[in-house]
Amino acid sequence: MKNTMVLVRTDDFQKAMVALADLVRYGGMKIRGEPRIVPPALSDWAFEKVVGEKPKKRYSAHVVAQIDLPPAKAIGRLREIHPPAHIIVIPPQSKVHGELLRLWGTLEKLKGFHQPKEIRRESKDEEE
């Protein structure tokens, strides 16, 4: 099974790491493998393909990570937690996902990111 991806767009890599940690801590997601740094042009292209419009704001830090949830569930969790970054969910069957996966080995690893411990999830998810 292919993993869903998230594209994190923010002002600096420290904020990107906080946003990824929030996905794990408060969103109950697991980051698979190591997040990668994405060139701004590739990030803008991915944004445009997934969202359907050109990005309105310029960011200087762009990171992509693979997560362990299906796209719909990931989007729902993102709406609940409001991380300190602009995050786009990239579904596994999309052209963007295929392109990012193809380039994965060439993208620089995000140094300094460590998977935090999961601390808070409502029990409603256990029922699903």
For 23-33, write each residue's pLDDT tens digit: 999 999 999 99
pLDDT at 56: 92
pTM of the predicted model over 0.85: yes
Strand ranges of the sheet holding 4-10, from the earlier edge strand across to the other edge: 31-37, 61-67, 4-10, 86-90
**What does the radius of gyration of the chain's CA atoms come to, in whole angstroms?**
14
pLDDT at 128: 39
Per-block average pLDDT, block size 10, for the chain (128 residues)? 90 95 93 96 96 94 96 94 92 96 96 74 41
| 3 state SS for 19-41 | HHHHHHHCCCCCEEEEEEECCHH
- CATH number for the segment(s) 4-117: 3.30.70
pLDDT at 78: 93
pLDDT at 119: 57
